[in-house]
Amino acid sequence: MSPDEPWDDEIADAYDTPGEGMFAPGVVEPAVSRLAALASGGAALEFAIGTGRIAVPLRAAGVPVTGIELSGPMLRRLREKVDEGTIPVVAGDMAHVRAPGEYSLVYLVFNTISNLLTQAEQVACFRNAARHLGPGGRFVVELWVPDLRRLPPGQGAVVFGSEPGYVGLDTFDVLNQRIVSHHFTFDFGGGRQARLTRSPHRYIWPAELDLMGQLAGFTLETRHADWTGAEFTGESASHVSVYRLPL
């Protein structure tokens, strides 16, 4: 399963949930505010820009934003919101594709780096971020913390979410640090149909992520549990890590 396979027309058409879920103002606004501050008046580049959940409001906040995006359907959804002149996008793989210009900020949100399915590709992503940044530039990664405590010995799958009409199931390959998230949605109407979508990930421990940063010339500047700056602890489910190049 390639990283772009899950992001087809059907997924792209259902991806945006205005005002709800990861599109809720309480989720989007802290991320936009923090990223605008970290851009320090310069331009920003979003890896895997998707439908523009963060890029569109960040551009509206006055930060020039460029994107890189592998999925054509996701990019088409973005173009329904803004044109190429407002947010330019380069089509391709965030681990290797070069966008024109120099930036003060490169960022990845909502676990996107885990869509790169090998350690080598994830390291290449850090190096690609470094190529786009000027001296003192920052690379921001939002990522979940692997919760293998949920996985009893000998068991290869756990339910991570359950609500009416939806069940989420993760299957684990602990040898290769892989997870495939399975999303089951149910139509309880007359047809009683079920639908399955899947997304593959390679999970990364925070210490491993820091080493990837070092290989690309970064040092860890800050790490918080969320975009509001909450303290990162051993119980944190995710983190926002800011890496910086030397001045």
- The strand pair at 157-163 and 133-144 is best described as unpaired
Q: What does the pLDDT look like over 203-229, one tens digit per residue? A: 999 999 999 999 999 999 999 999 999
Q: Which residue has the tokens 């973005």?
A: 78
DSSP secondary structure letters along 54-101: THHHHHHTT--EEEEE--HHHHHHHHTTS-TTTS-EEES-TTT---SS
pLDDT at 211: 98
Question: What is the structure's pLDDT at 154?
Answer: 87
Residue tagged 């909502």 (tokens): 110
Q: Which of 10-24, 28-42, 172-186 has the highest mean pLDDT?
A: 28-42
Give the span between the Cα atoms of 123 and 187, in whole angstroms: 41
CATH topology for the 9-146+204-244 domain: Rossmann fold (3.40.50)
- What is the rounded CA–CA span in Å between residue 177 and residue 2? 16
> What's 146's DSSP letter?
P
Domain parsing of the chain, residue ranges: 9-146+204-244, 148-200
Q: Per-residue pLDDT tens for 33-57? A: 999 999 999 999 999 999 999 999 9
Q: Which residues, other chains included, contact 5 with Cβ-Cβ below 8 Å and sequence gap of 6+?
A: none
State how far the Cα of 13 lies from the Cα of 112, in Å rounded to an integer: 19
In tens, the pLDDT along 56-72 reads 999 999 999 999 999 99
